[in-house]
Amino acid sequence: MNKLEQLRQRSQVVADTGDIEAIRRYRPQDATTNPSLLYKAAQLPQYQTLISESLAWAGRYQGHGTPTETARLAAIKLAVGIGAEILQLVPGVVSTEVDARLSFDTRATVDYARHLIALYEREGVERERVLIKIASTWEGIAAAEILEREGIHCNLTLLFSLCQAIACAEAGATLISPFVGRILDWHLAKGERKEFRGDEDPGVLSVRNIYHYYKSRDYDTIVMGASFRNPGEIEALAGCDRLTISPQLLQSLEESEGMLIGGLPLITEPLPRPTHRMEEAAFRFQLNSDAMATEKLAEGIRNFVKDQQRLEMLLQSQVIGRQEANAATNS
């Protein structure tokens, strides 16, 4: 077996892409999307019909709204449309992200998530097949706790530290996405070393620590390693509940015929859970004490916002183009 086939025997493989053709090729259990992936997908020829349908729907829903308002609404509809198409190809779930501009607003995050689920249900997709992706801020985790009680399952993303992971588990989040590659990026940028391999990779060590904390204390929250930079990171985390992997790295694993060596150790020592839940002050202090986690969380939110805005600008240009074409026809 190639390494991808071996990996499937130890972890659920999730495709980190919005590209339908890549999903069709690699047959993952689940798929994840984010604003960056949706922006790339929106430029592919196969999605132009879906974009047109999303713009038409937003125009009808918005009425006489501005091009900016119509584009923002169309972006939400497009995310659901792409997610619904993905669900025709995967047997599991798809993750769809809340607008990162709401990362510090619990109520707005809850409302946005409910809107996404309502749109999915209108497409005939049951809420059990959707994970709402939310940044692992204190406010985002609080929103996830509210949503989970309503049967809306959440994927807490942009997670870089144990304190974030603990708060997510205590909130009853369905799944977390601890990042690997972005942690490695930070340590390399600091010039600590020129390279890290396998078990020395700081991103791998972070996920291992979180995985051990959860499993030794019998938390139900699923650990899904994310944001990989090379196949070695993936191999070192074989055995993690789920791993979300880009098409490029899926291809690399598929083309590798050697033995997949390493992975997460078995958890044999049960440990007690904390007697008290983490409070906001402790969460903020611990996160602030971790320079890497603080910087990468902020950077991740900024980058997701930037790509969300780029997607909306792309859609807005089409709205304006259609308005100008209609005006020319009517004149």
**Which residues form the catalytic set?**
133
DSSP 159-186: E-SHHHHHHHHHTT-SEEEEBSHHHHHH
Structure tokens at 243: 């791993």
DSSP 56-108: HHHHHHHSS--HHHHHHHHHHHHHHHHHHHHHTT-SS-EEEEPPGGGTT-HHH
In angstroms, the Cα distances linking 250 to 17, 211, 309, 310 are 11, 22, 29, 27
List the one residue out of 78, 73, 91 whose CA is nearest residue 15.
Answer: 91
CA–CA separation, 201 and 209 (whole Å): 12
Looking at residue 226, the DSSP 8-state letter turns out to be B
In angstroms, the Cα distances linking 319 to 37, 56, 81, 208 are 21, 9, 18, 47
CA–CA separation, 233 and 227 (whole Å): 10
